[in-house]
Amino acid sequence: MCTATLWLASLSLLICPLLSCYVCFANVKDSLRLCWGHVMTKGNVRSVDRCFRKLDRIFNTNKDVIEAARVGKGFDIKLKEILDAEILPIVEEFDKKLHMDTVYESRLQTAADNFIAAASKLPRVSGCFPPCGFQSAGAVYNCDTCQYDSCEFPLDCPVEEIEVMENSGVRMWCDVPFDLPSDIEVIWKFAEEVKTQEMDQFKQVTAGVDRLYSIPSTSLQHQGTYQCDIYSGSRSIVRLYYFITVTPQLVAGHTELQEIFDLSLLPGGKLRVTPSAAPHSFLRLLLFLLTTCLTTSLVLLFLSLG
């Protein structure tokens, strides 16, 4: 009866404070064997309770231990091996034997320091890159939860806006700042004219492994939202969006010509010549204006002649 009560009390003390590196990897039976002979200097009495509190302070709430354990995917197994290598020899040495609390303090603190030194040498990961994408490679082990922290970013990235002139080329790269699996499939989709992230508005354009989508010569029909969806197996990893605005060449030409007139003419119809302007620059401008007027006159003449 006493043994069962001690078991339950010790188990609750080990688990209740919080989950952390020691609790994540240490066996409960080994912890009971370790703390069986813990003797308090004050009063010379055996206290398993105080031993578990000591373990909690040295391992579970030790920020250096928790930080050292922030390893990459799969290396939590190595963390357990490191902890076992430090704790199990002490368990075998202390089992069914009495030791003063000062001895426990020294031996357990040394074990924690050795764990920090060894765990810190394990591979780190780059972590999570905001603002989007399922980044399994960026997950970091967390001793507070005994599991890997997910990046928890949405799959959909913000829409990137691109302005392009009609008949000119444009390139869109489906690129992300985090590592991708080797078995990816890239699907490009297009929603004509609208700026959107609604899935039902897109139609598939290409599918393969090419993360570059290029349009050699844009026209008004290319205006809209392009979606790049990266898959691994049957699971979507990240979706990028590009909204293309195409400016017609005719509109652009009229705008440029109007800007030239606005900058060059003063009230009264006189051309403005700045003191710093070179004579040949003014002559080029004047020649351009005269050529434009002459061309317009010829076009009107031809139109009037049928």
Q: Assess if residue 304 is contained within a domain.
A: no
Alpha-carbon distance of 21 to 36, in angstroms, equals 21
pLDDT (0 to 100) of residue 234? 87
pLDDT (0 to 100) of residue 13? 42
pLDDT band of residue 130 (cuts 50, 70, 90) is very high
User: Looking at 247, 263, 282, which one is the last position of a domain?
Assistant: 247
User: Looking at 221, 247, 273, which one is the last position of a domain?
Assistant: 247
Number of domains in the chain: 2
Domain identity same for 102 and 173: no
Q: Assess if residue 237 is contained within a domain.
A: yes
Q: Assess if residue 27 is contained within a domain.
A: yes
CATH number, domain of 185, equals 2.60.40.10
Q: Assess if residue 79 is contained within a domain.
A: yes
Say which residue the tokens 């051309």 belong to: 271
Half-sphere exposure of 38 (CA within 13 A, CB side): 25
pLDDT of 135-187, one tens digit each? 988 889 998 889 998 888 999 999 999 999 999 999 999 999 998 888 999 99
Q: Assess if residue 129 is contained within a domain.
A: no
Beta carbons within 8 Å of 131's beta carbon, 6+ residues apart = 153, 154, 157, 158
User: Looking at 247, 267, 290, which one is the last position of a domain?
Assistant: 247
Given a cut of 60, whether residue 261 has pLDDT beyond it is no
Strand 184-192 with 224-232, pairing: antiparallel
Domain identity same for 242 and 168: yes
Domain identity same for 10 and 113: yes
pLDDT (0 to 100) of residue 168? 95
Domain identity same for 173 and 71: no
Closest CA to 51 of 70, 69, 26: 26
Q: Assess if residue 223 is contained within a domain.
A: yes
Beta carbons within 8 Å of 295's beta carbon, 6+ residues apart = none
Alpha-carbon distance of 69 to 66, in angstroms, equals 5
Domain identity same for 110 and 186: no
Q: Assess if residue 283 is contained within a domain.
A: no
Which pTM was predicted? Answer: 0.60
Q: Assess if residue 219 is contained within a domain.
A: yes
Domain identity same for 113 and 214: no
Domain identity same for 10 and 115: yes
Domain identity same for 105 and 200: no
pLDDT band of residue 20 (cuts 50, 70, 90) is confident
Domain identity same for 115 and 6: yes
Domain identity same for 166 and 114: no
Domain range for 78: 2-119
pLDDT of 198-237, one tens digit each? 999 999 999 999 999 999 999 999 999 999 999 998 899 9
Domain identity same for 16 and 69: yes
Domain identity same for 101 and 191: no
